[in-house]
Amino acid sequence: MVEKQSSSAIFDNRRMKNAEDHILVRQALQADPESFGQLCRRYYTSLVAVADSILLDHHLAEDAAQEALAHACRQLPRLRKPERFGPWVAAICRNVAKDMLRERRRQRVSPEDCEGQDRDCPDNGRTEMLAEALQRLPEHLREVVYLRFYNEMSYQQMAGVLSASQQSIDGRLRRAKKIIAAYLIRKGFGR
Amino acid sequence: MSRDDDNLWLDSLLSQQVRREPVEFDFQQWKEGHPEEARLLERGIEQPGRNLKTTTYPIWRCIMKSRVTRYSAAAVITLAALLVLTNPFGTSKNGGVALAAVQEKVAQVNTMIVRGEKVFTCVADPNVVYRFDLVKYISRQYGYTEEGRIGDALIYRITLNKPQRQCLILMSPWKKCLHFPCTGEQIAIMEKLSPTGAMDLLLQTDYKKLGTATIDGMDVEGFEFEGVKPVQDILPKYLFDIQQGRGTVWIGTKELLPVRIEGDLLIGQSLTTLLMDWRLHEVNTLDSYDKELDPNLFNTEMPQGYTEFTFSDIIPIKLSIPGLG
């Protein structure tokens, strides 16, 4: 399950990414918009995955990620550790997505009513069962599943926004899959 | 690392369920959708207290025309004359870069050209901001020259000629200058404030490793330091009062030279700042080193058309007293 890359290599890569983030943040603060653009490109996919794990809607998740980046831009001078931009912007994104979810609930729109969810697959029962299993997961575990399977993200990319070690991420992922598997088996999945 | 409870059979199902088409971020489109943020980015957002309504003094003409502005601008220029940002060097423990080797390498460099910017913000009025584009010429043989520009306009030039022991501070918008001889001690102080001299001073500074990165294709290792104790006692507080400071330095792992230095200082009221508190943010990047420099860059003769700077050039009209300055 864990990539073949050694843990020290992952740590080094992560340190390098953190150091690059540090530079990009400082440059963005000094009237260099393209540096902020690079930060956005670096984390956008992860942010969409984080938001999607909360909103369960891909298009809304993209809106949430874009809004989170706008918040981050305005709050950038308050970021005390520029090398921690990833986890910081991910936390902003979680809050934006939760606000959107509350707003959507207030308007009583169910996730199924939203466009963009492709649920017309031939294996409908299984897909819905799996979707249900995912929805029942605690938020922090669902987020790990989304990050991992959204766009085949590496542990390194995940660590960039989760502020957690690869062992911890691996543990969360295993716990999530155990819960999903138990739910599916209980519901007679695949029978 | 595979275990029985990994439930690997779920992977493909989850992948099908969760997987999306790759999303790409279009920065241009984002900027169009968030014009306020785009403006903020264009203008620079480094001061926490600044908002979109904050104004700066963007053009040198303001400095030239207003006596009030002259006062603060003169403080900034005088201050700039005393400031060269310091670097956090110490003995290496287990980093990729051996700092002692960097210290040695820097000590061997004969010339450096450093570029960057200095941003002074007045503590009493954060709307008063001076942003200078910098170029520094440092020569072991000839001395030190620093130029500060706003746009294309040269605002100040500070030159220390080492062989002649002369210092010249040009204030270009007003065609004014300060010209004075330097003692050996003053030259030593200036050297302590140069990147080379800072090496020794900062041996005493605590630092934190930031890891490695790439800057302009160069592999670098970063260090962050906080506290400026070693430079606080260089000059008496009534002349120059550095109250707080922090910064980062990025050292080329092959070049063994600092390639980028950033720092923030809080400078308290002193004679040099004309009794104003200032915050300084400075960024320096190494342009080149051991390049032959024209000795004329360190010329300290007063240029034609310039006159000596006096206090009456900056004090507000209502306060000017006949016979003063």
Please report where in the chains the tokens 């600044």 appear, as a residue: B50
Lowest mean pLDDT of A9-23, A59-73, B285-299, B309-323, name the range.
Answer: B309-323
What Å distances lie between residue A4 and A1, A154, B149, CA to CA?
9, 11, 52
Sign of CA dihedral B280, B283, B289, B294: negative
A12/B40 Cβ within 8 A: no
Pick from B157, B146, B194: which is nearest to B179 by CA? B157
Pick from A92, A101, A87, A112: which is nearest to A53 by CA? A101
C-beta separation of B250 from B215 below 8 A:
yes
DSSP 8-state code for residue A107: T
Averaged confidence pLDDT in chain B: 71
Lowest mean pLDDT of A122-131, A143-152, B35-44, B152-161, name the range.
Answer: A122-131
User: Around A87, how many Cα atoms within 13 Å sit in the side-chain half-sphere?
Assistant: 13
B3/A174 Cβ within 8 A: yes
Lowest mean pLDDT of B8-22, B84-98, B112-126, B299-313, name the range.
Answer: B84-98
Taking only the tens place, the pLDDT of each residue in B222-280 is 877 776 665 566 566 666 677 777 777 788 888 777 888 787 878 887 766 667 788 88
Please report where in the chains the tokens 């992860």 appear, as a residue: A46
Domain residue ranges in chain B: 60-307
pLDDT at B70 over 80: no
Q: Does B95 touch chain A (CB under 8 A)?
A: no
- Which chain A residues have a beta carbon less than 8 Å from that of B15? 149, 152
Residue, of A152 and B318, whose pLDDT is higher:
A152
Q: Smallest CA–CA separation between B293 and chain A, in Å?
A: 29
- Cα B312 vs. chain centroid, distance in angstroms? 29
C-beta separation of B81 from B101 below 8 A:
no
Instruction: Give the contacts of B195 (CB within 8 A, at least 6 positions apart).
Output: B84, B85, B87, B106, B112, B114, B138, B258, B261, B284
Q: Which of B14, B37, B283 sits opposite A70 (nearest CB)?
A: B37
Whether the complex's predicted ipTM surpasses the cut of 0.90: no
Query: What single letter denotes the amino acid at residue B66?
Result: S
Pick from A79, A90, A66: which is nearest to A158 by CA? A90
Q: Strands across the sheet with B111-122, in order?
A: B207-215, B218-226, B241-252, B258-268, B278-289, B111-122, B129-139, B143-150, B153-161, B166-171, B176-181, B307-308
Query: What single letter denotes the amino acid at residue B234?
Result: I
- A191: β partners: none
Lowest mean pLDDT of A22-36, B56-70, B95-109, B145-159, name the range.
Answer: B56-70
Fold observed for domain B60-307:
outer membrane lipoprotein receptor (LolB), chain A (2.50.20)
- How confident is residue B116, by pLDDT bands cut at 50, 70 and 90? confident
Hey, what are B232's tokens? Answer: 């606080």
In chain A, the N- to C-terminal Cα span, in Å, equals 27
Instruction: Give the contacts of B5 (CB within 8 A, at least 6 positions apart).
Output: A174, A178
Pick from A42, A10, A13: which is nearest to A25 by CA? A42
Tens-digit pLDDT profile for chain A (191 aa)? 334 445 555 555 666 677 788 888 988 888 889 999 999 999 999 999 999 999 988 889 999 999 999 999 988 988 888 888 999 999 999 999 998 888 887 766 555 554 444 444 455 577 888 888 998 999 889 999 999 988 778 887 888 888 888 888 889 999 999 999 899 888 887 65
Nearest residue on chain A to B29, alpha-carbon basis: A66
DSSP-derived 3-state class of residue A22: helix
DSSP 8-state code for residue B319: G
Q: Which of B10, B18, B222 sits opposite A177 (nearest CB)?
A: B10
Domain residue ranges in chain A: 7-186
C-beta separation of B299 from B159 below 8 A:
yes
Reduced 3-state DSSP string for B190-251: HHHCCHHHHHHHHHHCCEEEEEEEEECCEEEEEEEEECCHHHHCCCCCCCCEEEEEEEEEEE
Q: Can you give the pLDDT at residue A117?
A: 47
Quick one: what percent of chain B has pLDDT higher than 70?
A: 62
Instruction: Give the contacts of B43 (CB within 8 A, at least 6 positions apart).
Output: A31
CATH of domain A7-186: 1.10.1740.10
Hey, what are A61's tokens? Answer: 């998740």
Find the mean pLDDT for residues B42-55.
51
Distance of alpha carbon A85 from alpha carbon B39, whole angstroms: 21
Q: Which of B7, B44, B250 sits opposite A31 (nearest CB)?
A: B44
Distance of alpha carbon A150 from alpha carbon A147, whole angstroms: 5
Quick one: what percent of chain B has pLDDT higher than 90?
A: 4
Residue, of B19 and B102, whose pLDDT is higher:
B19
- pTM here? 0.49
Distance of alpha carbon B255 from alpha carbon B112, whole angstroms: 13
A40/B25 Cβ within 8 A: yes
Distance of alpha carbon B142 from alpha carbon B157, whole angstroms: 15
